[in-house]
Structure 1
Amino acid sequence: MSYRLLLFLVFVSLGRLAWADFGDLPYSSKMVELEDMVEHQKGEIVSLRSRLDQVQLDILNSRQEQLVEHQKLVGQLSDLQQQIIKLSSAHVVNSDKCVSAPHIVSKPVSKVVVEPYSNPIPSQSVISEGKSAESLLDSRSYEKALQSMRSGHYRGALVSFKDIKSKLSPNSPHNADLNYWMGTAYYLLGEYKDAIEFFSNVYERWPESERAPDALFNLVNSYYQTNQKSEAKIAGENLVKNYPHSAAAKSLSKLTL
């Protein structure tokens, strides 16, 4: 055997021994450790996915609860809206505040005089001395418009209120009532943008009117219907601040408790 061949065999033998020592202990241990780490990471991934699913479910449930609560509040506001309509349209002023003709208002008053159905209505309009026709209200037409509201004929009532308003001067004390009812008709027709305009007019132009608190209450509702929550909050704050003892403010406070 030559020297070179012997040297080659020695190197081969030593190489095999070194490889066996490296592979049997350190390499095997590292593989086991690596497998353990992989299994641990798999467990972490499963856990994180489970937590993510739970978070997404919680968010979905929260949104659903908020939607249900919003719909509940809208329903309550709508119910109160209907109650206000019934109470307002049924309002009757004492007969000593009326003029000689039951279907004509001759004095500027904070509320429109509407005679009950049982009272006779003359076929000819009578206007008191010293008052222009533009400052008076035809209570017969007004009552018919209110009856249309009570019957659910909101579009017809809206046309009637507009016609009545067109015959009044801009300074007529009855404009607050007419704007209020036109806003109400628009709201019940689902035309919330127009409802907002008329309810805002009542509060901004006739803040001393008895219609102003109810107009603000309905304004809150209209803003909610159009998802204008910031504006609804401001309108609600104005209602509670400026008319704290009104029925509308008390109703709103109950809803927001």
Structure 2
Amino acid sequence: MVARTARAALIVVGLAATGAAAAGMFDDEEARKEIIRLRDNYGSRLEQLETTSRAQFELANEFQALKAEIAKLRGQIEVLTYQVDSSDKRQKDFYVDLDNRLRKLENAAMTPSAAARPIDPVAEARDYEGALGLLKAGKNREAGAAFEAFIATYAGSSFLPSAYFWAGNAWFQEREAARASDHYRKVAELWPDDPRAPDALLGLAQSQQAMGDAKGAKETLGRILETYPDSSAAQMAKQRLGRR
């Protein structure tokens, strides 16, 4: 009886020990899984932080590059603004000077002694180029007035044939054919050997046609063929007269 009781006690103790060991093994397995999960989670978060850091670094670089580009553009804008302001000032000064010259011409006719004054070549070239610049800019009325002021101011200038010619062009573009014809006729009459004389006659014929003087235009075109047969203006005259 005592022996049976002892064996039963040993069996109970053995089962208890086995259960405790199994429970210990189960706890260790759960702990390992938790460690692996935490390690994976830490690795994932670390990778996310590294990605975020790289993105922030790249964004900072782009921001710095953008700031540099903006600074460069601001510098270019300042330069362009200065250039525009300077150009506007030069244009304004030219108009003021031109207006003053025209007022003087209106108040007093040019005397022989004034016409005989030596020409300032710097002022002469400046005023001629200024008038030509207006014509190139399409400001025909201002250009016509500027060339007329030049003609009145520089009576002995070598630019006079060209000044009369371009004045004619400017007024023709402004549909003032009568005024244009006066300037064209001056070139043909006063400087018949000037390279612009044939084209001046062609401009005169155009002005006459615009004024309704078809007969006069035809006579002027015939004059071009007779006087300047080898010029390009003669070729244009032939076409307008219907000749070959």
TM-score range, shorter chain: 0.3 to 0.5
Q: How does the TM-score come out when normalised to structure 1? A: 0.45
Please tell me whether Structure 1 or Structure 2 has the larger radius of gyration of its CA atoms. Answer: 2
Higher relative contact order (CA 8 A, sep 6+): 1
Q: How does the TM-score come out when normalised to structure 2? A: 0.48
